[in-house]
């Protein structure tokens, strides 16, 4: 029974990952591409805008990796521990 629950949980994680992959990547791509001119901007005041754009882009890329990889892995590990498998 434990393996059946575990298999259903892994299947649910895979289905959710496939379903959310495209929207998450599209949102990240549009925001990063939208901030790119600000990140490489020239002119007066560009130093402040550049730092802000780079910080936002870095945070967004890290949060994308966290939501696509780290959250499902942590969920499966914690759920496996709750099921008594680990």
What DSSP string describes 10-24?
Answer: HHHHHHHHHHHHHHH
CA distances from 16 to 9, 13, 72, 78 (A): 11, 5, 9, 17
Model pTM score: 0.77
pLDDT in the model for residue 43: 84
pLDDT band of residue 83 (cuts 50, 70, 90) is: low
Does residue 27 register a pLDDT over 90?
Answer: yes
pLDDT band of residue 68 (cuts 50, 70, 90) is: very high
Task: Return d(Cα 39, Cα 35) in angstroms, integer.
Answer: 6
The answer to whether 62 touches 40, Cβ cutoff 8 Å, is: no
Tell me the domain boundaries of the chain: 2-82
pLDDT in the model for residue 7: 80
Overall average pLDDT of the 43-55 stretch: 90
């Amino acid at each position: 029974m434990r393996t059946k629950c575990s298999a259903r949980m892994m299947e649910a994680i895979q289905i959710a990952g496939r379903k959310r992959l495209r929207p998450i990547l599209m949102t990240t791509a549009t925001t990063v591409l939208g901030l790119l001119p600000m990140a490489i901007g020239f002119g007066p005041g560009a130093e402040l805008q550049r730092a802000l754009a780079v910080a936002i882009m870095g945070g967004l890329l890290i949060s994308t990796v966290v939501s696509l990889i780290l959250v499902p892995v942590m969920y499966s590990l914690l759920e496996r521990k709750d099921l008594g498998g680990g």
